[in-house]
Structure 1
Amino acid sequence: MKHFFQRCAGLALTAALLAAAPLSQAHSFKLGQLEIGHPYARATVPGQPAAGAYISIENKGSAADRLVGVSSPVAKSGEIHTMAMEGNLMKMREVDGGLEIKPGQKIAMQPGNGYHIMLMGLSKPLQAGEKIPLTLSFEKAGKIEVVVNVEDPAAAGAKDDMKGHMHH
């Protein structure tokens, strides 16, 4: 009988650890033929009005789709932005008409590189270790809510990728 209870306790612990694992490790989500990988944002400081969020989107289907909107309850608005260097000036602007993801294409949103999601009008600072909801709206696949891990900006030699967004 003792072994039975030990075994049940061990199974319960294993189940609890497995349930918690996706939240504490790299995480991904699937919507139709789209795979959304490792949504994360950088922690912010008090008074910072905007934050960048980053994801990867892979289209494993045979038809293109388009990310047409983003929203989160932690921000007044969300936009899909692109960043490009024009001479010595970094230009960031909203992507008109959404972001197309072609069949077989993988778009990796990363700090200082191409595309990112802007969360503007933050209701409070984003703190390292917290998880925030982010709703992604696709033209064909529909909507999905993903969990965004807020990470310490000092981790992994992070760049200051928010300088250009302080005007929002």
Structure 2
Amino acid sequence: MLRNILLCILLTLSPFAVAHDHGAGDIRIEQPWSREMPPVAPTAAVYFVVHNAGSEADRLLQVETPVAGKAEMHEHLHADGVMKMQQVQEVAIPSGGEVAFMPMGYHVMLFDLKQQARNGERFPLTLTFERAGEVAIEVVVLSQPPAESTGHAH
């Protein structure tokens, strides 16, 4: 009975009450999340922070997930007084540094979704780094961005 009570408590905790930290080698991925979108939305975005504790820089080269037909890395740019989004082929992760994938910055765009995920659901995303290799993470879907997602720069 105690086991069932503990299981119920764990299932009712906020998605970020437990740290969501994934990694390989010197690379750590912190707090991967995606915003809940309307069921008819054709795309979604994924955000997280990449930390590189190593003495050598790394590069994020590819992203993929089984929940979408295509996943791409994008960034927002302010050019000629207009904000625009463009695909990037790689993202440099400096040694001893971090890069935040956050709204209005770097982010992962998911296209051709099989269905939109709902608040509290999770889905897998694989990040492929030049040095660290593949890092499988679990993305949590939230109705509102976590407070911590606005405190990082890239």
Same fold (TM over 0.5): yes
Contact 1:46 1:125 in 2 (8 A): yes
The structure that is strand-richer by fraction is 2
Residue in 2 that maps onto 1:85: 78
1:72-103 CA deviation, whole Å, 9 max, x = no partner? Answer: 1110011111111113311111113x111010
Contact 1:45 1:126 in 2 (8 A): no
Unpaired segments of 5 or more residues in structure 2?
Answer: 148-154
Of residues 36, 46, 54 in structure 1, which corresponds to 2:47? 54
Structure (1 or 2) with the larger CA radius of gyration: 1
Residue in 2 that maps onto 1:5: none
Superposition map of 1:119-134 within 5 A = 119-134=110-125
Task: For 1:103, give the aligned amino acid.
Answer: S
Task: For 1:146, give the aligned amino acid.
Answer: I
Superposition map of 1:90-105 within 5 A = 90-96=83-89, 98-105=90-97
Unpaired segments of 5 or more residues in structure 1?
Answer: 1-8, 157-168
Task: For 2:111, give the aligned amino acid.
Answer: M
Superposition map of 1:7-26 within 5 A = 10=2, 12=3, 16=7, 25=17, 26=19
Residue in 1 that maps onto 2:139: 148
Q: In angstroms, what is the RMSD of aligned CA positions?
A: 2.6
The structure that is helix-richer by fraction is 1
Residue in 2 that maps onto 1:71: 64
Instruction: Give % identity.
Output: 34
- Runs (4 or more) in structure 1 with deviation over 3 Å come to 12-24, 153-156
**TM-score under structure 2 length normalisation:** 0.83
In structure 2, relative to structure 1, the CA distance for the partners of 1:14 and 1:62 (3 Å cut) is farther
